[in-house]
Amino acid sequence: MQFSFSDEQDQFRAIIQRFLREKSPTTEVRRLMATERGYDSEIWRQLAEQLGLPAIHIPEIHGGSGFGPVELCIVMEEFGRYLLCAPYFASSVLATTAIMNGATAAEQAELLPPIASGERIATLAFTEPNGRWDATGVELTADLAGGDYLLSGTKSFVLDGCSAELLIVVAREPGTSGSQGLSFFRVEPDAAGLVREQLQSMDATRKLARLTFTNTPGILLGELGSAAAALSRTLSLAAIALANEMVGGAQALLDSAVSYAKMRVQFGRTIGSFQAIKHKCADMLLEVESAKSAAYYAAQAAADNDSDLPALASLAKACASDAYMHTAANCIQIHGGIGFTWENDTHLWFKRAKSSEVFLGDPSYHRELLMQNREL
């Protein structure tokens, strides 16, 4: 197991940081989060063409750059730090990973190249209005009707579900339950019987949709009824990617809190010289560093195909969620009244922290998963 990044990985991170510092200042975040689609196509194009980020962990034979989870997580951490508005998590993490895990080689050869190049933005629709984050929550059905599959049911909390140009949908064979009978389907955005509605998300930088399927045609990906394992692997990697995104955000909040505390004067002293603030910051640093350790370790474990991956993914997700929320709350507290204003940027990260806390399952859900998946 590697416990530090290589020089190449550090350089890669520096390149992304330079890009984001320029392209994703909070003025841009605020502009884009107020739009319906939530991102800027031109930035997305640069991200793909200049940096090749959507291609990062896609195999080279499918137009990717063939890097792995560690590099993907470096990208996520920096996106989290700068709150980049882009459909990256939906397309490059969720949909890409689902296709890599669940589709046949031929299907991958068809679907992955346009995703890798950034030309096509995909998403994965798996959660439903019941809000469950695993296979057991899937109720949407796929009926075989004259050689075609017709999907019926509702997906919710679908990331970039309204803007995505390719939908990977998890559906189940009627009459099955649990992890049985699940398959991935691809659905075109203009498919018959598909209604896409934007949900109002608290975190306006993360666009969510409700998708209603009524006898909507879908094309099977991979083998019928065998998506459960692929979905589970996909969700593990997604949780790890999210954990890395969260530690980037938490670090941004910690930096902001510390630098404000060093500058803000009350009672003739910087507030950072008061133990109440000082010790809060020390505790924040410990929590953020711990979450980083978990997120980095899990990313490396994914790269190594570690058999303990589900447990490590849950550990990282639970740890990062708590660290992010605590850091966000403390960052507001340290800023005082100003930290509660719309004008101050803290709330942008606070809302991202809150949505990340529950997205893919909250800390208490993942702690229980950790207990189930880890040998004590």
Partner 1 sequence: MAESNNMSNYDEASLRAEVTAWLAANWDPQLSLIDWRTRLTESGWAMPQWPAQWYGKGVSAQLAAVVAEEFAAVNALGVASGGPGRLAAVTILEHGSDAQKAQYLQRILTGEDAWCQLFSEPGSGSDLAGSTTRADFDGSQWLINGQKVWTTSAHHATYGLLVARTDWDVPKHQGLSYFVLDMQQPGVEVHQLRQMNGHASFNEVFFTDARIAADQVLSNVGNGWQVALTTLAHERRLADVLRATAARSKLEGPIYEEERAETAIVMEPYQWYPQRAGRVDLVGARAKSTGAINDPAIRQEIAKLLIMSQTAEWTARRARAAQEHGRPQGPEGSLGKLASSNVARAASHVHTLISGADAMLTGSDSPLDGIIAEILVSVPAISIAGGTDEIQRNIIAERVLGMAKEPRADTGPFRDVPKNTV
User: CA 5, CA 296: separation in Å to the nearest integer?
Assistant: 9
Q: Which is nearer to partner 1, 218 or 339 (CB)?
A: 339
- Residue 54 or 128 with smaller CB distance to partner 1: 128
| Cβ distance to partner 1 smaller for residue 100 or 348 | 348
- Phi, psi angle pair for 263, to nearest 5°: -105, -35
Q: Are 280 and 330 a contacting pair, CB within 8 Å?
A: yes
As measured in angstroms, the least distance from the Cβ of 196 to partner 1 is 14
Q: Which of 146, 147, 175, 337 binds partner 1 (CB under 8 A)?
A: 337
Number of residues that bind a second copy (CB under 8 A): 4
With CB under 8 A, what is the number of residues at the site for partner 1?
80
**Spatial distance between the Cα atoms of 236 and 11, rounded to a whole number of angstroms:** 27
- The single residue among 38, 53, 203, 243 that binds partner 1, judged by CB under 8 A, is 203
Query: Which is closer to partner 1, CB of 48 or CB of 291?
Result: 291
- Of 5 and 274, which has the nearer Cβ to a second copy? 274
* Smallest separation (angstroms) from a second copy to the CB of 132: 23
CB of residue 333 vs partner 1: minimum separation in angstroms?
Answer: 6
Q: How many CA atoms lie within 13 Å of 363's alpha carbon, on the beta-carbon side?
A: 16
Q: Of a second copy, partner 1, none, which one sits near residue 290, judging by CB under 5 to 8 A according to partner kind? A: partner 1
Of these, 14, 61, 144, 371, which contacts partner 1 (CB under 8 A)?
371
CA distance 118 to 97: 15
Nearer to partner 1, 169 or 311 (CB): 311
Structure-token pair, residue 35: 């739009």
Binds partner 1 by CB under 8 A, chosen from 51, 109, 191, 358:
358
Q: Nearest to residue 161, comparing CAs of 205, 118, 132, 196?
A: 196
The nearer residue to a second copy, 21 or 269, going by C-beta atoms, is: 269
Residues 233-262 that bind partner 1 (CB under 8 A): 258, 261-262
> In angstroms, what is the minimal distance from the CB of 156 to a second copy?
27
Closer CB to a second copy, 3 or 267, in the complex? 267
Of 156 and 183, the one with the shorter C-beta distance to partner 1 is: 156
Of residues 261-320, those binding a second copy (CB under 8 A): 274-276, 279
Q: What are phi and psi of 39, to 5 degrees?
A: -150, 170
Of 27, 268, 305, 307, the one binding partner 1 (CB under 8 A) is 268
Measured between alpha carbons, how far is residue 185 from residues 37, 140, 222 in Å?
24, 11, 9
Stretch (H or E) spanning 157: strand 148-159
Question: Whole-number minimum distance, CB 197 to partner 1, in Å?
Answer: 9
Cα dihedral: 111, 116, 119, 121 (round 10): 70
Contact 301, 308 (CB under 8 A): yes
The option from a second copy, partner 1, none interacting with 297 (CB < 5 to 8 A, set by class) reads: partner 1
Tokens 């980037």 correspond to what residue?
A: 248
- Determine how many CB atoms are found less than 10 A away from the CB of residue 188: 14
Q: Which string of x and - marks every residue 108-137 that binds partner 1 (by CB under 8 A)?
A: -------------------x---x-x----
Residue 77, Cα to own-chain centre: how many angstroms? 10
The Cα–Cα gap between 95 and 45 comes to 18
Neighbours of 42 (CB within 10 A): 9
DSSP assignment, residue 140?
-
φ/ψ of 156, rounded to 5, equals -135, 170
- The distance of closest approach from Cβ of residue 62 to partner 1 in the complex, given in angstroms and rounded to an integer, is 32
Give me the 183-202 binding string for partner 1, x by CB under 8 A, dash otherwise: ----------------xxxx
C-alpha distance from residue 262 to each of 270, 287, 294, 354 (Å):
6, 20, 29, 26
Per-residue mark of binding to partner 1, 64-103 (x: CB under 8 A): ----------------------------------------
Judged by DSSP in three states, 86 sits in coil
- Which residues here bind a second copy, judged by CB under 8 A? 274-276, 279
